[in-house]
Amino acid sequence: MSQGAKQLYLQTASLVAGFMVWVLISSLMPYIQADIKLSSTQISLATAVPVILGSLLRVPIGYWTNRFGARSIFSISFIILLLPIGILSLANSLFMLILGGLMLGIGGAVFSIGVTSLPKYYPKEKHGLINGIYGAGNIGTALTSFASPVLANAFGWRTTIQIFLVVVLVFAILNFLFGDKNERKVNNPLTDQIKEVYKNEKLWFLSLFYFITFGSFVAFTIYLPSFLVNHFDLEKVDAGLRTAGFIALATVFRPVGGWLGDKLNPFFILMGVFTGLTFAGFLLAFTPSLPIYSFGCLFVAICAGLGNGTIFKLVPLYFSKQAGIVNGIVSAMGGLGGFFPPIILTILFNWTGHYSIGFMSLSEFSLASSILVVWLYFREKQEISAKIVNNATDGITVTDKNGIIQSVNPAFTKITGYTMDEVVGKTPSVLQSGEHDNAFYKGMWDSLTKAGYWEGFIWNKRKNQEIYQEWLTITAIKDDSGETKNYVAMFHEVDDQKK
């Protein structure tokens, strides 16, 4: 087995364990609130608190993974997790729940380890699938949501939490023994990496997209158990099973999203993702019956899973040299996206008596993101076109319909000696050599006017007054109504041998 495959299995299993611990409070909250009296706002706060550290720590953990390797960071993280698990098993107040829950966030922060480490072992064309498979470690939240109510019914919620002490200890040992000691390290200063990326708008667009997709996943994961019990009067085990189904569906579609991102244009997938979330949020805003509500939640799971996988195809694609810090920032924003919705939903419910405004916010943010994805898609196409023009070996001149030069490419300057500033606003007559009479140029314009096209040999003059021969092609660019808007001229210098 290759080292890459071995680390993929180990790190994905470690993420499962981390996420199992991360959602302990939300999964057991129906049992905890029976022993510790909490208001609805306090319940939302206690269940959301693990997301804070689980989000903010993702930035330094991504950086530390690049510097020290996944083996060390996973092992240390699991050892530290023993403390909050112990605190929670003894909790008898809101303060202890918040204290233990805050530190429990390390279980969610370990996500940054694998998305930073695993791409080092695989070529770029597989990064989407690999990060998608690793991200399927989200299934850990489903395992806890499913198993915790069953264990709590049999042994009590405190003993159930203590069982997880064994889980994290086992994975600390596994990572120490089988983690890659020779993983390639990257030791660039953290401040230097942040300076390199923080002005890049793609970082913040990806952060916004992940804020919505992963935030939706986390928010529904931590909110559904209590919501289903309190709003629909479901049994605790039934609520846990339905939450586990939501998580499982989102988890299955995460590697699918990564795989599709490898095969198709990721922007097309994100357009579909945010369109789907717009519809789902709109549906849930009307507080429908349980079957329709379940359909809306499952549709959120599918879209969120696809989006999560696709976004982490784009991160290493755009930021291969700063993958650690960018993975940390983007994943941190995703985690924070799961912190605010449960609290906001509870506050809005206390104010209005329903959840419509909260779910409609998901719909509106998703709609705005869908528009941004479309804009990014067309902007990237323009950037590609610009790169093609700027790197072409042929000189290119763009004029308006009256022949006034609008832009030229670097090859134009290399051939003629004129810079863009020297020719923009002028006509191509600045290149005239005097070798052709007026009839020649009249014939050229007649051809452009009637056929929209002209090509042939022409003598032109460089800035240094040297006359040279070029092969010139001029094409009229028309709008949808057939009117000429621009002319594009492409030329290259020729000599007798090329001729």
* Structural domain ending residue among the three candidates 358, 388, 418: 388
Segment 265-307, tens digit of pLDDT:
889 999 999 999 999 988 888 867 888 888 988 999 999 999 9
Whether 193 shows a pLDDT value over 80: the answer reads: no
Rounded-to-integer distance, Cα 163 and Cα 154, Å: 13
**Is 334 contained in some domain?**
yes
User: Do 316 and 426 fall into the same domain?
Assistant: no
Tell me the C-alpha distance between 48 and 36, whole Å.
17
Predicted confidence at residue 496, as pLDDT, reads 54
424 and 298 both lie in a single domain = no
Instruction: Quote the tokens at residue 59.
Output: 């930035």
- 205 with 274, same domain: the answer is yes
Mean pLDDT of the chain, nearest integer: 86
- Does residue 221 belong to any structural domain of this protein? yes
Is pLDDT above 90 for 367?
A: yes
Which of 327, 353, 388 terminates a domain? The answer is 388
Distances (CA, A) of 229 to 149, 288, 325, 337, 388: 12, 16, 39, 23, 58
pLDDT of residue 497: 47
Q: What is the pLDDT of residue 258?
A: 85
* pLDDT tens track for 75-111: 999 999 999 999 999 998 889 999 999 899 999 889 8
CA pair distance 127, 99, nearest whole angstrom: 37
**Residue 459 pLDDT > 90:** yes
Domain limits for position 429: 393-494
Q: Indicate the burial class of 196 (C-beta count within 10 angstroms; 0-12, 13-18, 19 or more).
A: middle
Handedness of CA 135, 140, 142, 145 (dihedral sign): negative
pLDDT digit string, tens, across residues 329-343: 887 888 777 777 767
353: amino acid identity, one letter: G
Query: 446 pLDDT exceeds 50?
Result: yes
Same domain, 333 and 253: yes
Question: What average pLDDT does range 390-418 have in this prediction?
Answer: 90
The reported pLDDT for the residue numbered 320 is 67
The reported pTM is 0.69
β-sheet bridge partners, residue 471: 457, 492
Alpha helices in 198-319 (DSSP H): 201-232, 236-263, 266-284, 290-318
Q: What are phi and psi of 432, to 5 degrees?
A: -60, 135
For residues 21 and 38, give the distance between their C-alpha atoms in angstroms, rounded to a whole number. 22
Inform me whether the pLDDT recorded for 499 exceeds 60. Answer: no
Q: 362, 388, 414 — which closes off a domain?
A: 388
CB 134 within 8 A of CB 4: no
E-assigned strand segments in 281-332: none
Give how many domains the chain has, as a whole number.
2
Q: What is the pLDDT of residues 146-188, one digit of tens each?
A: 888 889 999 999 999 999 999 999 999 999 999 999 998 877 7
Q: Identify whether 499 is part of a domain.
A: no
Q: What pLDDT, in 10s, does the model give residues 24-79? A: 998 898 889 888 888 877 887 888 788 888 888 888 888 888 889 999 999 999 99
Q: Is residue 333 part of a domain?
A: yes
Query: Which segment of 5-19, 80-94, 376-390 scores lowest on mean pLDDT?
Result: 376-390
Q: Residues in the chain, how many?
A: 499
- CATH code, domain carrying 17: 1.20.1250.20
Q: How many CB atoms lie within 10 A of CB 291?
A: 8
Q: Which of the two residues, 361 and 156, has the higher pLDDT score?
A: 156
| Cα 167 to chain centroid, rounded | 30
